[in-house]
Structure 1
Amino acid sequence: MTTITSRLPQLGDWRDTSELTAIQDAQLGRTLEWARRSPFYRSRLAGSIRTRADLAALPLTTKQDLRDAYPFGMLAVGRAELATYHESSGTAGTPTPSYYTADDWIDLAERYARKWVGISAEDIFLVRTPYALMITGHLAHAAARLHGATVVPGDNRSLAMPYSRVVRVLRDLGVTLTWSMPTETLLWAAAARAAGHRPGADFPGLRALFVGGEPLSPARRRRISAIWGVPVVEEYGSTETGSLAGECPQGQLHLWSDRAIFEVYQPQTGKITPTGAGELVVTPLFREAMPLLRYNLGDNVEVRADGCECGWALPTIRVLGRAAFGYPVAGATVSQGRLEELVFGLPEAYEVMFWRARAEPDRLRVEFEASAAAGPAAAEALRASISAEFGVPSEVVAVPPGTLVPEHVLTGVHDVVKPRSLFGADEDWDRGLLYY
């Protein structure tokens, strides 16, 4: 295995696009050599493929390619050199595998930690994403430890960490940074209020919320920040690649183009360009265990190279995801992103956090939680904004708090038991071998 940590580029190592391209090209040859060790790429890289122009001639690597190569058909190092094995979330059928060496993990952790709100040894960092086969929880954990922070492993898929416990940990430990999906932060706020706490006042240690994993509209981001009184800092990546983009002090998401080559694929035309709108294609440059060449993530994005006042000299990206897709309603197309912007564009005084909608052929049905006092005005305001934005009939209903997110979800404490086989006469032995 070749040690890569001494060669990892750092922010400030380049001043413009040409210098950034030179950094990519200097590493690309080694990346291609690593790929030649992979059973999957061995045949694809036959001949003299050495340069960026050569790379452009290669077909895209797809998620199906990874599934077909399960479990170790993409492996480019000996199995003894692997540090971790992962599978992406949401995979139906054959898994999508990923694996990393210890050196790969240094690159992963460094990229994740590149946020304008830095991570330091003074921080107490709550990781509220899965500690499972997907990479998300492990990635934040590794980045926090790389910078000396204290990690609180608050797995959001564990019954041992209900929302009531999250609120207690946030407050009692003086948590300073968190990592979660955006929706989680709203659930914490509701759970905090259910426990008699004020999210923006009773958690003085908190200084930023790191979020990712789902599209986030500007309006919802502003609402989360207002509720907690701290910045909301976005992150974009995947289990197959690790962090791909992070937020600068100007609030822009920048692609880590010193650590990967990015392209945009337009499936309708087959055209591939460095910028524009389409599906993101990535070639990680410091991934030895499982090299990926022109890997099509399938995520809908918009990549721009307009420059940014932060001075990072990196392309910016807007992640559209499912928010870019919509459902037909009465001759119009309604997307989640645009609708979410309207919901969280309601006045803060209405305290709307949880909502759902159904796109029907002739109308849009929307429900949201609101108090009895605020509900009618909020419903009327949202109905008017839907009509103005989409021009479709809508049925907008304010439902009582606790309808969409039941109170027991916010306040309950689950009984997590250890397995056993011997029980007393009055004990429930049906739960003997189950962790719940």
Structure 2
Amino acid sequence: MNDTSSGLPQLGQWNDMADVQRLQEKQLPQTVVWAARSPFYRERLNSGALPTTAADLAGLPLTTKQDLRENYPYGMLGVPKERVATYHESSGTAGRPTPSFYTEEDWVDLAERFARKWIGMSPEDIFLVRTPYALMLTGHLAHAAGRLRGATIVPGDNRSLAMPYARVIRVLHDLGVTLTWSVATECLLWAAAADAAGYRPDADFPALRALFTGGEPLTDARRKRIMRIWGVPLIEEYGSTETGSLAGECPHGRLHLWADRALFEVYDPQTGAVRVEGEGQLVVTPLYREAMPLLRYNLEDNVSVSYRDCACGWGLPTIQVLGRAAFGYQVGTAKINQHRLEELVFSLPDKYGVLFWRAKATPAQLRIEIEVPDEHREAARAELAALVRTAFGVDSDVAGLSPGGLVPLSVLTSMSDVVKPRSLFGPDEDWDKALLYY
């Protein structure tokens, strides 16, 4: 955790935020020089002296996702192409992509930030990486961090026919996987797949010691449910393809911004005001990013940042990622948001076995579907409808579906036939698979 061989700041090397701010101010001029090498920032910074302090930097306009799209592919690149180690694009990009470039040196910073897990990562660990590798940063980031700490990596990928859920469970069990990285929903899908394979998640995977998750909003109720199911800590991570890891969880369950490696601001899109803390959209300036420096990049994520002390002693600001908490759909006189609705679903008694749900909100009605065993269906339906009524003041149509109604059993148990392209087939073979591999 405190390896200083890279020369980058490490946890424990400062006493308070004043020390962290001195680290920021020392590195910022170099960051701006790197930025000025890219076509985009060369034009933005050419009107005067380069910013050298955080106060100077505040005079620059925010960099937006649209700026990245409009400067695709190389307008944000600040190093010669031959120095680029990897290229990535974020998920969910509509239309023109948002490009991200990293050098080998950038990757040292990326891997170290992700590896700041309070539970530790070591050569004794077998680490299942179960997030996408294609174009996004997330799978490669966890892979690099695990290798940095000497762990054995199981590159499980996601959305891949080569790694169906039945195979995930086999690997988790047979290899004695100790750590995993995925979105939180995966942990519930694994639990269902383990049950389908005849395993108990909290008893039949004794090597497992922690679940690392990120990439989607996670309510406290769902988090606690996952931990009860698996019997191990769930440790959150926050970041993006454009920036890498921005915050990690301390032993006291709070997400801390890596302020020794980046500058953070909070932007209020309603007023245009920018503050160091409070609620708004997170603005970040990575301090050790050379390939594609970003100055005051607005992630557009709704967050709440605080500088109150934490018992962990890390001396770093904390962040709550609000995500869609403030976003919702109108049903009658109520605004229904996913965060609150998820809290209600996962506050149902564990004995009901509800893991999967979905809802549709229209101005006239809120319809909710939950997977629930037959023997608990009526009780679960009635209790959830009552919880919704109390929380939102509206009636809801709650439907109880038999297990498999939302996540088919075949998804949890099948093994895909992944084949390589071929052109010659025998008399009893299906030659419609010619040239196809899936």
TM range (shorter): over 0.9
SS across alignment from 1:199: coil
Letter in 2 for 1:90: G
Pair 1:292 & 2:297 matched: no
* Residue 431 (structure 2) aligns with: 429
CA distances 1:351-371 after superposition (whole Å, capped 9, x unpaired): 110000111212211110111
SS across alignment from 1:374: helix
* Residue 408 (structure 1) aligns with: 410
- Quick check: 1:5–1:107 contact (8 Å CA) kept in 2? no
CA distances 1:51-84 after superposition (whole Å, capped 9, x unpaired): 2111000000011111111111111111111110
Note the 1:14-163 alignment, pairs <5 A.
14-46=14-46, 47-48=48-49, 49-163=51-165
Deviation at 1:378, TM superposition (A): 1.1
Pair 1:215 & 2:217 matched: yes
Number of aligned residue pairs: 433
- Quick check: 2:325–2:338 contact (8 Å CA) kept in 1? yes
Letter in 1 for 2:37: R
Aligned-pair Cα RMSD in Å: 1.1
CA distance in 2: counterparts of 1:281 and 1:5, whole angstroms? 29
Deviation at 1:425, TM superposition (A): 3.6
CA distance in 1: counterparts of 2:118 and 2:65, whole angstroms? 32
Letter in 1 for 2:302: N
CA distance in 2: counterparts of 1:41 and 1:358, whole angstroms? 44
CA distances 1:368-427 after superposition (whole Å, capped 9, x unpaired): 011111111111111111011000111112110000000000000110110012223432
After the TM superposition, which of the residue ranges 362-371 and 43-52 deviates more from structure 2? 43-52
- Quick check: 2:344–2:384 contact (8 Å CA) kept in 1? yes
Q: Percent identity?
A: 68
CA distance in 1: counterparts of 2:94 and 2:363, whole angstroms? 29
- Quick check: 1:5–1:106 contact (8 Å CA) kept in 2? no
Letter in 2 for 1:296: N
CA distance in 2: counterparts of 1:6 and 1:356, whole angstroms? 46
SS across alignment from 1:297: strand
Q: 2:196 aligns with which of 182, 194, 215?
A: 194
CA distance in 2: counterparts of 1:323 and 1:165, whole angstroms? 34
CA distance in 2: counterparts of 1:122 and 1:329, whole angstroms? 51
* Residue 170 (structure 2) aligns with: 168
- Quick check: 2:6–2:108 contact (8 Å CA) kept in 1? no
Q: 1:330 aligns with which of 326, 329, 332?
A: 332
Q: 1:377 to 1:275 in 2, by over 3 A?
A: same
Deviation at 1:5, TM superposition (A): 6.9
* Residue 417 (structure 1) aligns with: 419
CA distance in 2: counterparts of 1:134 and 1:37, whole angstroms? 25
Note the 1:208-357 alignment, pairs <5 A.
208-357=210-359
CA distance in 1: counterparts of 2:433 and 2:239, whole angstroms? 38
Q: 2:361 aligns with which of 359, 362, 365?
A: 359
SS across alignment from 2:22: helix
- TM-score after normalising by structure 1: 0.98
- TM-score after normalising by structure 2: 0.97
CA distances 1:225-246 after superposition (whole Å, capped 9, x unpaired): 0000000000000000000000
* Residue 380 (structure 1) aligns with: 382
CA distance in 2: counterparts of 1:435 and 1:299, whole angstroms? 38
